[in-house]
Amino acid sequence: MSDDEGMLAFPKYVEVAFGPERWKVVARNFKKIIDEENIGGVIVGLPLGFSMQETEMTKKVREFAEFLKKELNVEIFFQNEVLTSKEVEKSGVVREDMLDASSAALILQSFLDAKL
């Protein structure tokens, strides 16, 4: 999530969405947070290859994002997520159980910084 001004990202919540059978549950959980926090858009980390090519996982993420767009009725934005987990691990300041949340915050921060 970001602060009210959309300047700083911070870890909030991690939801595992492996496979379409989990998508409805994830959407329901996201909808609750979106409503409670008055969120206007969702940033989705896009897993591109090192040469910025789309991969099989990229296609699956795009499908999931399209599902979320319909279910949540919010704007969906994509942000390249290449090496975010490695960057967070390298920092050495994040607990193992916060790796995914911190990586998501880094993806969001990259998106916010690009808007400035």
Q: Compare 97 and 112 and report the one with higher pLDDT.
A: 112
Instruction: Tell me the three state secondary structure of residue 26.
Output: helix
Question: What is the pLDDT confidence band of residue 114, given thresholds at 50, 70 and 90?
Answer: very high
33-89 pLDDT tens trace: 999 999 989 999 999 988 889 999 999 999 999 999 999 999 999 999 887 877 887
Total number of domains in the chain? 1
The answer to the question of residue 14 being in a domain is: no
pLDDT at 13 over 80: no
User: Is residue 48 a contact partner of residue 57, using CB atoms and an 8 Å limit?
Assistant: no
Q: What is the mean pLDDT of residues 14-20?
A: 77
Domain enclosing residue 104, as ranges:
20-115
Are the beta carbons of 31 and 15 closer than 8 angstroms?
Answer: no
Mean pLDDT of 96-102: 83
Could you tell me the pLDDT band of residue 15, with boundaries at 50, 70 and 90?
Answer: confident
Note whether residue 15 is domain-resident: no
Q: What is the pLDDT of residue 61?
A: 93
* Per-residue confidence (pLDDT) for residue 53, from 0 to 100: 92
DSSP single-letter state for residue 78:
E
Task: Judge whether 13 lies within some domain.
Answer: no
pLDDT averaged over every residue in the chain: 89
Q: What is the rounded average pLDDT of the residues 8-36?
A: 88
In a domain, 9, yes or no: no
What's this model's pTM, rounded to 2 decimal places? 0.86
Q: What are residue 25's phi and psi, to 5 degrees? A: -65, -45
Query: How many Cα atoms within 13 Å fall on the side-chain side of residue 40?
Result: 5
Check which CATH number belongs to the domain holding 49 and give it: 3.30.420.140
Is 12 a domain residue? no
